[in-house]
Structure 1
């Protein structure tokens, strides 16, 4: 791939999920006085009109991420449906205590919308990477977690979240699949086979489909990983000797306990793929190179799945 082609591809990807989020939320802010937005400098330039038109409901607190969550909780306590937006590490990791207390402990909801994912923009370094974000939020009760795999999945997921008062995390990425899938709870079956079940979460679907091409496996897709679709997994497995592979675009083993709980009455085997836990990657490179290091490219997934299923 030439540099020019690579840059064009990255630009096309970058206008997907994030732009869908901005467009959908801007429209909601103009139509619904209940909707509010809190920013910490990131993406403020994309909501200039809304900052001007709705100064009481669109707030940029500057580079103060803990305050961002506190302000969001305060707006929620006054009856607003608050959306909070930033890079994943600034949205989840840095203000984690405020998420736990100001939202969870007070029993109020908000929609956290992140960009950056695990390693979307390696040029910015480790400060802008958050492979543990889903794992951290999964440790707190009551969170719905969406991991869309295509820009067209963002609007329906965000619109549905705005209609509730729940605590929702919407994890956006510049990486996206070729084709959008239904934005609905639970697993969407894409292939059926007898050797095992492979679950693809969000933007790893294309790699999973390529990696399992020609294998006798069931492939399930989801853009809503919490709550975990236990009924859907039970329906998909071969109850005699289930083998399950979960491919997630964040920290490996994040959903291991969910699979184990779902199949706790059945002898089963499971393999969990995602970003590595054993070492930290201290390199820039490209997103595709990071995928390869973590075994999340199609070739790496194929090797892991074939070895796990003992397929030559």
Structure 2
């Protein structure tokens, strides 16, 4: 417990500093881009006069130096003022939280499915060498198949041909959300499953050759008990690292799947905000994705120390 607290106390300031540096870099990168929301509004509405543009720029603080605007924006964040989304004409928080929740549900289910299926396949390959080649071939296939192509095939088969599942979108009121999650979760999980299968097979094979496993086998312990109670806890450390990296990457990387299945989420929201020149929303979404990624990594490190206390020594 003490080691976990020390790790959290060390990592949280690093997370805060990373977010600060990321916000600085993103703010100045966006600020140095040609054009701003008011100029784009002028292009969209030629009836605006130069006086209207000047008044709008002053109203939104765009006539101030970039540094002063960043400090004002940062002070607003510390006060809990997240501003408005110009693209959605709503408070930014009202747009961010539903998108984050949708993505976390999708990514969480996909990562859980990929981890369970991949670890199971890896365990099968570790226990029985004759299964190693089929598992490797399946993992290679899962890595080679593009996610968007797999998603299209699943839609054609299960939504168009068989009519068992919806092709995408969100459930209407009273409908079960599970049916709308199956295809996008399967699309995301299939590609991720390959890494878990290969890591699990390698780690479990190495653990099953350890001397203490040989001793336990000589004392009459069954193969299932050796695998799940002795080998897996030691092999779980690299799998947890992979789990954290997957969870963080998929929060922002599920754009193709969310677009294909018409699911509102962080990937699609970030894309729409950038393409719609909604700079405040884009920056907030970027920071939120980075925060979720770093917290997922911290959670994995804490879980690793809980499984193997020697890591905290």
Tell me: higher relative CO, structure 1 or 2? Use CA pairs within 8 A at least 6 residues apart. 2
TM-score past 0.5 threshold: no
Larger % of helix: which? Answer: 2
Instruction: Give the TM-score, by structure 1 length.
Output: 0.24
Larger % of strand: which? Answer: 1
